[in-house]
Structure 1
């Protein structure tokens, strides 16, 4: 079964909008785990517009499943945070400063030396590393040369084209997954996966270990309730 890691950035956004502690981010993370999710993901950004750096330290104390920290390793503050917290997994994402949301993967060929150095530093501390990549065979081959443990396929393209033809939308991801398997890379995926498109993706992309889902899941929870929604997503992965 593919594991579900819930990204709780949007919970933090809601909390921050009123300046208090409602909803309580820490309690929500505990509840999500109790509802069956196998991981908690956060993506702190320099402006701390959702997850705050202090949140990450608090979450490390209570998360009992897998703790995954996403972010841009070109920011020294992010590097220091990850090395201090030592999550089970760090996912390296090439975000630009002030970027609204992640919208592309690493150029693993151009940035090979840099990624190799950063991945080595995290792995030295016992942290599993995944890097965000587009579903392109040359980028996956480049990723394998950096020493990363896993890649996370950027799935916005699949989500955007899902309604135009499911098999066509999934085809590059299936090819990418097979390439990752061939090269001995673990495979994660994330971005715009939801209750409509997740099941087909999980059933047809080989070797999928984990998906990270936040925006869609939190949005669905407004209608279905958080506990029910987490379990609905888990059923898509069964």
Structure 2
């Protein structure tokens, strides 16, 4: 099976919020991502709603016909939103409220009780749960122990090292993917994946189910257009 592409539309909301009003239209962007071939849409509502707003999430949900993925830190407000909206997937990230962007994965051992309780709530609601992790085997194995269905590998270190040393950059992620498979976890990936580095990543990572890509894809769409950009990303995943 081809790896699925989920487009994170946060940056479209950031542009809208910078001016007020409804240009660009976030709902239209979500529908267009699917229309142009993306297999999913990702949003990451933050407490200050500086890009995707909580009400955006509510309005987008009935429009999505493939997969809707909500990612974020599991505060009570976030959990209430997810349980109300019931996306296909929720991705838990350890960002604090003032984080500019995701910059680390969970320590699933130190947060075992916390994550177990939260994941239990989501699974009771029938929501597939993914946990954002680095490549450390113990944290991937810990994700299985807290009840996660999948892990999403934090790929910024890969993207940083790829231009100078692709084989060295990919090595820990191959090992992480193997640990995920041994732990019977589905495997997602995301953060700083781009047209430059995605094909190599996808070709080398066993069992990769889905990539979630926002910043690079939306930035490239400024030059290429959203439809052509999504097509180019999908070519990288074949």
Q: TM-score band (shorter)?
A: over 0.9
**2:54 is equivalent to residue 53 of structure 1:** yes
**Aligned mates of 2:77, 2:113 — CA distance in 1:** 20
- How many residues are treated as equivalent by the alignment? 237
CA distance in 2, matches of 1:33, 1:143: 30
C-alpha displacement at 1:72, in angstroms? 0.2
Structure 1 segments (4+ residues) deviating >2 Å:
none
Question: C-alpha separation between the residues in 2 aligned to 1:141 and 1:64?
Answer: 32
Post-superposition Cα deviations, 1:49-94, rounded to whole Å, max 9, x if no partner, equal: 0000000000011011100000000x11100000000000000000
Displacement after TM superposition at 1:104 (Å):
0.2
Deviations 1:9-37, CA, capped at 9 Å, x for gaps: 00000111110000111011111100000
SS at match of 1:95: coil
TM-superposed deviation, 1:98: 1.1
Report SS of the residue matched to 2:13: helix
TM normalised by structure 2 equals 0.99
Paired position in structure 2 for 1:90: 90
SS of the equivalent of 1:17 reads helix
Matched, 1:195 2:195: yes
Return 5+ residue gaps in structure 1 as ranges. Answer: none
Deviations 1:193-220, CA, capped at 9 Å, x for gaps: 0000000100100000000000000000
Instruction: Tell me what 1:184 maps to.
Output: 184
Following the alignment from structure 1 to structure 2, what is the Cα–Cα distance between the partners of residues 33 and 110? 38
* DSSP-derived class of the 2:232 partner: helix
Three-state SS of the structure 1 residue aligned to 2:7 is strand
TM-score by length of 1: 0.99
C-alpha distance in 2 between matches for 1:96 and 1:7? 19
Q: Deviations over 1:160-182 (max 9, x none)?
A: 00012101000000000000001
Is 1:28 the counterpart of 2:29? The answer is yes
Q: What does residue 73 of structure 2 align with?
A: 72
Partner of residue 111, structure 1: 111
Structure 2's unaligned 5+ residue stretches are none
RMSD, aligned α-carbons: 0.5
